[in-house]
């Protein structure tokens, strides 16, 4: 029973890490574009 949450959390942390990297790659250029539009 104890091993299941560990496996789950490991999978979740892996997915969130990938999602974070994708989010960063997508949002960073968007943020740059927004800053350029404001100035």
What pLDDT is recorded for position 20? 86
CA angle 15, 26, 18 (to 5 degrees): 15
Q: How many CA atoms lie within 13 A of 18 on its CB side?
A: 5
pLDDT in tens, the chain (39 residues): 566 777 878 888 888 888 888 888 999 989 999 998 876
Q: Model-level pTM?
A: 0.47
Convert 19-35 into a string of H (helix), E (strand) and C (coil): HHHHHHHHHHHHHHHHH
């Amino acid at each position: 029973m104890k091993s299941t949450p560990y496996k789950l959390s490991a999978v979740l942390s892996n997915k969130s890490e990938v999602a974070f990297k994708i989010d960063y790659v997508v949002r960073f250029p968007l943020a740059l574009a927004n800053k350029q539009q404001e100035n």
